[in-house]
Structure 1
Amino acid sequence: MTDLQMSLIAAAGVFVAGVFSYNKWQEYKARKSVERAFASDHDDVLMRSGETPVERQEPVLDLGAESPLAPLDVEPGSFAMDAPAPNVAPAPAAPAAVAAAPVAPAAPLPGTTPDTPPAELAESLVDPLIDCLIPLSVEGAVRGDKILPALHTLRRVGNKPIHFIGFAVSGDWEPIVHGGVYTKLQAGVQMATRTTALNEIEYSELVTRLRAVGDEIGAEPEVPDMIEVMSEARTLHRFVAGHDAQLGVNLAANGAPWPITTLIAALEAQGFDVRPDGRFAMPDGAGGVLYTLSTNVTLGADATNRLTLLLDVPCVAPARDGFGAMVKCAKELTARLDATIVDDFEQPLSDAALDEIKGQVAEFYQEMEASDIPAGSTRALRLFV
């Protein structure tokens, strides 16, 4: 038998296998459609909606502006939108519907409270500026009780959280809840975190798992183009990396090192909460952290001659004046502990130098505000975790 004959036989075998696989796939899809159509617990056809799916709102970002905190080893760029895009356009409310009580996400969303309205919470969960939005088309209406178990199996890919919201028959988008009825669904995967951007492997995993979830709940995901999503994710991560500013103020002992036991009592009297890892956190009065303090030694150490107060700049709202509060605390501790405020090179920091840094922080906050990611906002807290 010649090589040509062998090649023809092999090609014929591949063709037959392809046709067989295609037919089996079509048979599987048809069977799933029939099962959904004739399932005993299918949704009431009177609850179907003719509304069109929510269109994906694409953020427009422009990097390249010089950061006001460049002297502090931060090189952020400018992250700007042509116009803030609302998450969804509300549809007319269904008069006979009753809104269900919202159920919080698996993990509390930073910057929200139990009293946050469902519509506002939905905008924070699936945010067109920092999330890749994926509409899921459903035939008719679906009940939260029926789809929640499947949705709970897909919470994150890599370290990127995934959230789901639904368009309720009450006329608003809200987190998926027990007792809710939804005519449209939407998934959102966060495109960047403090450490990494959403990558091709994570996105492929998301699409595969989301299609499986869609088959289970009777929904078809409308997946955005991977190349476009990866470009947005990398741009967003450049913004996050460029604005990842943390400011430290050091206290150096003027005399003998401070005994840890004495130091802990002094810091607790100053208002710090002790963490299990040996760090101290200053509460912001609203359940968050204003700034932290480290003793710069291991948990088993007996004494230290240096403390470091640290402000996570993008995570503290300007109204709380985290830097001003941190400097005020540092000055009070210098009197309490007989210490001097120094920089990383053990040089004393004058009031003039501290005022200059405060001005840079104010400019940094203005830049974040102009980029539609205000410091301390839910959007910022999601990105800078």
Structure 2
Amino acid sequence: MSTLQLSLAIIGGLVLALIVAYNTWTTRRNAPKRALPPDPELDRTGEPALRQEPGFDTGLTTGTPLTPEEFQELDRGREPTAAHVVDPTEALQMPVPAFSLERRPGLDPLIDVIAPLQAEHLVSGDAALAALPPTRRAGSKPFAIEGLNEATQQWETPAPGQRYQSFQAGVQLANRMGALNEIEYSEFVMKAQAFADAINAAPDFPDMLQEVARARELDQFAGDHDAQLAFMLRARQAAWSPGYVQQNAARLGFVAGAMPGRLVLPASAQGLPPILTLAYDTQAALADDLDQSAIRDVTLSLDVPQVNRAEQPFARLREIAVALCQGMDGVLCDQNGHPLPAMAMDPIATDLELLYDQLDGRELSAGSVLARRLFS
């Protein structure tokens, strides 16, 4: 073999090796990021186990305010408003003040039409349960019947072994499906009347036109104060695997939700709606090979009326969004995937405080039983 042929063979081999190396690097670079194996020396936040968690820091930088249109998209039926990026701060677990006492669960004249039903004789709980209608809705509105327990003198859903003589039937005035209308009111009357006939009770129904008008007014108030905010976090370069998203979210307190592709930040008390929701593609979450399942973006959202203001949900959303972007090499975007400029969130926080005050003034405080029923 001549010197020229040998040189060409060596050069060809080097070029082939470079091509293979480049293809390997590109494949690794574009593959979805995977979750790291757990380290027994580290706690759930990824920090040394002896590290003491710092407190919540609310010191946030002020910047250019949002336009009113960007925040005041509160009418039901619109897409959730996209929040904006803040200056980087560490997302921390914060202590939550104790919740104030609220109105009791069950029917409430503030958001329900209530019709008293007085039975001729004492009615057992078993008989009352047997007389209940098969469905608990009148149209799109929740419907309920309560009895005044003879022993405890408390209103409750009829229960076996108890005795009642006074009952009340109720239907919700409004929810996110709209206001109670005449057809739904008529269905409510029919259901309540059938129950009354079964237990030999005399119902006293309020005026339909007045109640429908009250429903429209409540629905208008709810529509003006129904805020749902959301971030989109998009990968800058390599996509994320579901395990990678779950691992980073778990460090900030998220746990698996009831549906695939849904993680939630639990409230401080059991039984309450989650503070925040982090969602990604359901098909990616159900893929056979989760390490190869690619996620390009996730959505971090807050349903404002469903969460008690004592949880400081908006401040936590801001910090968690920044922490996830930093930890996962992501960029904060609006609902259409357009990157958001760095600007302060203080104007939105101010508007939200006003919203909370208005809900409090209507006895529909965010996160309360009545607010959760109304904004559902």
Report the TM-score, using the length of structure 1 for normalisation.
Answer: 0.65
Q: Given the superposition, is the C-alpha separation of residues 292 and 171 from structure 1 closer, same or farther in structure 2, using an over 3 Å criterion?
A: closer
Q: CA distance change for structure 1 residues 70 and 131 in 2, over 3 Å: closer, same or farther?
A: farther
8 Å contact 1:315–1:384 — kept in the other structure?
Answer: yes
Counterparts of 1:86-105 in structure 2, within 5 Å, are none
Task: Identify the residue that residue 183 of structure 2 maps to in structure 1.
Answer: 201
Tell me which residue corresponds to 2:279.
Answer: 294
- Once the two structures are superposed, the pairs formed by residues 37-56 of structure 1 within 5 Å of their partners are none
3-state DSSP class of the match of 1:139? strand
Q: Name the SS for the 1:125 alignment partner.
A: coil
Decide whether aligned partners of structure 1 residues 378 and 283 sit closer, same or farther in structure 2, where only a CA change above 3 A counts: same
User: What does the per-residue CA deviation read over 1:217-239, in whole Å, with 9 as the maximum and x for residues that have no partner?
Assistant: 11121112211121111222222
Higher mean displacement: 265-274 or 292-301 = 292-301
Q: Is the 8 A contact 2:133 2:195 kept in 1?
A: no
Secondary structure of 1:367 counterpart: helix
1:156 matched to 2:155? The reply is: no
Q: Cα deviation per residue 1:238-290 (whole Å; 9 max; x = unaligned)? A: 22222221111232323232233432333334332233242221111323301
Aligned to 1:348: 340
Deviation at 1:317, TM superposition (A): 0.6
Determine if the alignment matches structure 1 residue 336 to structure 2 residue 330: no
Partners of 2:141 and 2:175 within 8 A in 1: yes
3-state SS of 1:124 partner: coil
Answer 1 or 2: which has greater helix percent: 1
Residue 112 of structure 2, aligned match among 117, 124, 131: 131
Q: Tell me, in whole angstroms, the C-alpha distance in 2 between the residues paired with 1:309 and 1:247.
A: 9
Aligned residues: 275
Residue number in structure 2 paired with 1:217: 199
Please state if 1:279 is matched with 2:262. Answer: yes
Alpha-carbon deviations, 1:107-159, whole Å to 9, x = none?
xxxxxxxxxx9xx98x4211001000001122133222221211253522123
Structure 1 equivalent of residue 150 of structure 2:
169
Amino acid at match of 1:197: A
Q: Which runs of 5+ in 1 are unaligned?
A: 1-67, 78-116
Return closer, same or farther for 1:239/1:375 CA change in 2, 3 Å cut-off.
same
Q: Structure 2 unaligned runs (5+)? A: 1-66, 77-100, 288-292
Q: Judging changes above 3 Å, is the alpha-carbon distance between structure 1 residues 153 and 212 closer, same or farther for their aligned structure 2 residues? A: same
Does the CA contact (< 8 Å) of 1:343 and 1:349 recur in 2? no
Structure 1 residues 75 and 293, CA gap change in structure 2 (3 angstroms):
closer
Question: Percent sequence identity over matched residues?
Answer: 35
> Structure 2 residue aligned with 1:378, among 351, 369, 372?
369
**What's the TM-score once normalised by structure 2's chain length?**
0.66
Match of 1:231 in 2: 213
Give the corresponding residue for 2:12: none
Letter in 2 for 1:178: P
Q: 1:171 deviation in Å?
A: 6.2
Distance in structure 1 (CA, Å) of the matches to 2:344 and 2:227: 18
Q: Secondary structure at the match of 2:276?
A: strand
Deviation of 1:297 after TM superposition, in Å, equals 6.9
Task: Say whether residues 1:74 and 2:103 are aligned partners.
Answer: no
CA distance in 1, matches of 2:107, 2:253: 36
Equivalent of 1:243, from 225, 240, 245?
225
Distance 1:170 1:361 in 2: 44
Match 2:296 to one of 297, 305, 310:
305
- Map Cα deviations across residues 72-110 of structure 1 (whole Å, 9 max, x no partner): 133579xxxxxxxxxxxxxxxxxxxxxxxxxxxxxxxxx
- Going from structure 1 to structure 2, the CA distance change for 1:229 and 1:277 (only over 3 Å counts) comes to farther
Residues 69 and 361 (structure 1 numbering): CA distance in 2 closer, same or farther, change over 3 Å? farther
Alignment RMSD, CA only? 2.7
**CA positional deviation for 1:322:** 0.6
Q: Distance in 2 between matches of 1:297 and 1:138?
A: 51
SS at match of 2:118: strand
How far off is 1:344 after superposition? 4.1
Partner of 1:100: none
Paired amino acid for 1:293: L
How far off its partner does 1:382 sit?
Answer: 0.8
Could you say which structure has the greater relative contact order, defined with CA pairs below 8 angstroms and 6 or more residues apart? 2
**Residue among 346, 369, 379 paired with 2:360:** 369
The match for 2:56 is none
| Cα separation, 2, equivalents of 1:349 and 1:143 | 64
